[in-house]
Structure formats: C-alpha cells, structure tokens
C-alpha cells in the first residue's frame, strides 16, 4: 500500500482538485490511501466561526457564509449542477454543523473548537470522493475518526497507537483506493478530537506506519525539501535524499521540513517519506529514508529572525556553574522560552531564545535578582548544517556577529 497526503493548497479550488485527480490516476489508483486536509484556508475560516460562536459575536452568520460559499463554488465548478449528489451531501454535512452550533451546551472552548473545525476535512474529503468517482476511480470514503483514537485533550490530542494500529491494520488487505481526512480523530467517548494545526502530515504518517505502507508521499507546491528558504537565499538546491535523523536535525534548528512527530512513526518502521510537487509530479522530489546523511552534500541554511540574546554574568565574579545554570533553565522553561543556542564561559552565560509568549521582561526581571543581565532583542539566528568555508563567508558577510558556535556538523551564529 501507498499513502498520499494532499494539503490545503493542493485542493484549494476546482482546478487543484482536478489536478489531484490526475495525480491519483497516474500514480496511485489502487492500493492507495489518500489523506486530505481542509480546502485552501478553510481551517482558518472555521477558526473565525469558532471565535464568533464562543464570543457570541455578531459575525457568526457571515463567518459561516464564507465557508459555505467557498465550498459551493468549488462543487459547482466540478460537477456543474446544484442538484449533484456532491452538493446534496455538502448541504447535509453543513446542516450537521449548524445543528451542533444550535444544540451544543458544553462551554469548553477547545471541545467546541474540535467539534466545529473538523468540518473542513469532512467537506473536502466528501467532495474529493465524488470527484474521483466522476473520473471513474472507485474510491472508499473513510471516516478517520473510526481509525485514529486519541485521549480527550482537545486541539492537541495524543494518539493511542496501540488501539489505532489494531483499527487500521485490516485496511491493508482491501487493495482499494481509499480517501480519508487528515488532522481529525476521536476519543473514547466518540467525540471528535484534532492533532494540532498542520496535523495532516502526522495523520498520513500514522496510517503509513500502521499499514506498513511501502511509502508515504506528501504532495506540496514546492519541488521537495530545499537547502535554504528562497525568501532569504538565492537559488536554493533540492535535497534529494536524507536520513530521518538529518530531517529531524533540520526541523530542530527551525527548518520547515517535516515535524519530528511526523517522522517518528515512519522511522520506527523504516517507511520512506517522499515530498513531491503536485505541480510537477514527475520531478524527483525528496525522499527521507534510513540511509545515512544527506544528498547532495551541500550546506543547509536555516534562518530564525526576531530572536532574543540574553547574556548573564555573575554579580561577584564567581563562576557560573551547574546550580546557576539549572536555575536559569528552570526559569526559561517556566516562561515558555524556546532555547536555540547556549554558550558559557567561567563567568558569562549566553542564551539565544525564541520569545514565543512575550515573556522576555518577566524573565529578565527574575534573572536580574541574581545576575548582571544584558539582552538584545530582534537578533537573527543562522544555522548552517554541513558548513564549509564558502558557507561561513556567505553567512558572516556584512553582519555584526554577537555569538558564534561551531560543532563538527553545525555552525550557528547570532547576528544583529
């Protein structure tokens, strides 16, 4: 079996859905499970519905109309009739959403969020199911909630892999083409849960691992994984192959490769992960697999802007040792600072952090009780994996370097 995942951009309009159909016909018309996200920016549009609903806002009807009209438009373009079964099914599913909004009495925001947000994935997979039938592909529509079981931690539910594997495994025998939703799951009480924003890749990995699939392919609007972000670097190169560990390393430093959570189930079962372009499906793309290293062996650049550099020194010239360092980390952890780089000498300790929750002033106030504190906001952190002299020169040119750290494989510099 193969698993294909199509994200929002790959089903954002009627043309994109047709393109998906062509890809499925050519590359996976049987023995394939297709995981699909909500169309385009539907999840954001449904978040607006959730917020209006939760706050009793005036804009609830308008927010719902955005979602409704967008899908109806795509259905009309694909099936050319208001009375097509795809339209009727959409109306029925949409009514179920309205029904929830009218009858729900649970005031837990995260609960309501999941009960509303998952309609994006239901709409998209229902439409795609009809479309694949229209182009003569026989497809079974599966409700992912019957297969992926989680705890009740709404919006970031934890998957029960044992139960999930038992439920998914029989699908391996069907030999059919199947379509299901990314991102959504259910708990023991039967309520819908979700796996966190952008969770559809993770869904594809779970199905791939539980089915012992021959491969998982993520179809995207880029040629594959690149060695640099085209917004900051000229002429990035395609990385054709890399190990799971390399992909996890790149993700750790902030590259938008796959989330480690997505890679882990695949790594455990040694299932190759392909990242390919739905605009150029014959392109080689990237494969993440067990073989060591990365190919081509080029430097990989990762930039994180708007970081904070905090430099501490002791008030009395005493050494900064284990005890102080553990206090510093406890504090950073408490204020949800994400630590990017650390460097210490006898009497100074530097740490570059991502101030995700705007807690810098609190952290600094606490640190000042024990240390002399200097900090610089709005610094950039450049990480280069597999650096060489040229890469170092490129990164260092025309910048004020505040901190530099090198290990065998990785160079990191903090600049202003």
Which residues contribute to the site for ligand ASP (CB under 6 A)?
Answer: 7-8, 37-38, 43, 120, 182-183, 197-200
Query: Cis bond leading into 296, ω under 30°?
Result: yes
Report the partner that residue 199 touches, choosing among ligand ASP, Mg ion, none (CB closer than 5 to 8 A by kind).
Answer: ligand ASP
Q: Which C-beta is closer to ligand ASP: that of 45 or that of 242?
A: 45
Contact 60, 53 (CB under 8 A): yes
**Hey, is 226 helix, strand or coil?**
strand
- How would you class 129 by CB atoms within 10 Å of its CB: exposed for 0-12, middle for 13-18, buried for 19 or more? buried
Report the partner that residue 129 touches, choosing among Mg ion, ligand ASP, none (CB closer than 5 to 8 A by kind).
Answer: none
Measured from the CB of residue 12, what is the shortest distance to ligand ASP in angstroms? 11
Report the partner that residue 182 touches, choosing among ligand ASP, Mg ion, none (CB closer than 5 to 8 A by kind).
Answer: ligand ASP
Measured from the CB of residue 255, what is the shortest distance to ligand ASP in angstroms? 18
Only one of the segments 31-39, 219-227, 312-320, 366-374 lies at the binding site for Mg ion (rule: CB under 5 A); that segment is 31-39
Integer Cα distance of 43 and 53 in angstroms: 15
Measured from the CB of residue 6, what is the shortest distance to Mg ion in angstroms? 10
CA torsion angle 138 143 144 146 (round to 10): -120
Residue of the chain from 10, 37, 181, 187 that contacts Mg ion (CB under 5 A): 37
Q: Which C-beta is closer to ligand ASP: that of 197 or that of 305?
A: 197
| 8 part of the interface to Mg ion, by CB under 5 A | yes
Q: Which C-beta is closer to ligand ASP: that of 68 or that of 155?
A: 155
Integer Cα distance of 167 and 150 in angstroms: 12
Would strands 371-385 and 410-415 be described as parallel, antiparallel, or unpaired?
A: antiparallel
Report the partner that residue 183 touches, choosing among ligand ASP, Mg ion, none (CB closer than 5 to 8 A by kind).
Answer: ligand ASP
Name residues contacting Mg ion, limited to 175-214 (CB under 5 A). none
Q: E strands of 8-59, at which residues? A: 32-36
- How would you class 354 by CB atoms within 10 Å of its CB: exposed for 0-12, middle for 13-18, buried for 19 or more? middle
Q: Which residues bind Mg ion (CB under 5 A)?
A: 8, 37
């Amino acid at each position: 079996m193969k698993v294909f995942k199509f994200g929002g951009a790959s089903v954002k309009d009627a043309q994109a859905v047709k393109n998906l159909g062509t890809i499925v016909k050519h590359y996976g018309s049987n023995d394939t499970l297709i995981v699909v996200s909500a169309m385009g920016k539907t999840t954001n549009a449904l978040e607006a519905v959730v917020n209006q609903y939760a706050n009793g806002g005036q804009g609830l009807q308008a927010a719902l109309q955005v979602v409704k009209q967008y899908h109806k438009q795509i259905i009309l373009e694909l099936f050319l009739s208001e009375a097509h079964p795809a339209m009727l099914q959409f109306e029925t599913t949409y009514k179920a959403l309205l029904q929830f909004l009218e009858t729900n009495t649970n005031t837990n925001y995260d609960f309501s969020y999941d009960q509303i947000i998952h309609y994006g994935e239901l709409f998209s997979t229902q439409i795609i199911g009809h479309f694949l039938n229209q182009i003569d592909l026989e497809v079974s529509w599966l409700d992912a909630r019957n297969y992926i079981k989680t705890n009740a931690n709404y919006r970031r539910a934890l998957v029960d892999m044992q139960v999930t594997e038992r439920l998914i495994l029989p699908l391996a025998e069907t030999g059919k083409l199947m379509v299901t939703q990314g991102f959504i799951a259910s708990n023991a009480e039967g309520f819908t849960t979700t796996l966190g924003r952008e969770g559809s890749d993770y869904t594809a990995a779970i199905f791939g691992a539980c089915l012992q699939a021959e491969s998982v392919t993520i179809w995207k609007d880029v040629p594959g994984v690149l060695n640099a972000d085209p917004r900051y670097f000229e002429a990035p190169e395609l990385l054709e192959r890399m190990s799971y560990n390399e992909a996890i390393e790149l993700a750790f430093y902030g590259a938008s490769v796959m989330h480690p959570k997505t890679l882990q189930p695949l790594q455990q079962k040694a299932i190759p992960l392909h990242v390919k372009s739905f605009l150029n499906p014959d392109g080689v793309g990237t494969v993440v697999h067990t073989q060591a290293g990365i190919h081509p062996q080029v430097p990989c650049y990762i930039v994180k802007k708007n970081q904070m550099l905090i430099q501490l020194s002791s008030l009395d010239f005493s050494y900064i040792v284990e005890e102080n360092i553990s206090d510093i980390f406890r504090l950073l952890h408490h204020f949800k600072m994400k630590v990017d780089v650390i460097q210490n000498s006898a009497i100074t300790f530097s740490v570059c952090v991502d101030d995700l929750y705007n807690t810098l002033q609190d952290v600094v106030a606490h640190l000042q009780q024990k240390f002399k504190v200097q900090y610089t906001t709005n610094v950039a952190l450049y990480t280069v994996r597999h650096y060489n002299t040229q890469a170092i020169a490129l990164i260092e040119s025309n910048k004020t370097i505040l901190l530099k750290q090198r290990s065998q494989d990785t160079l990191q510099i903090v600049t202003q």
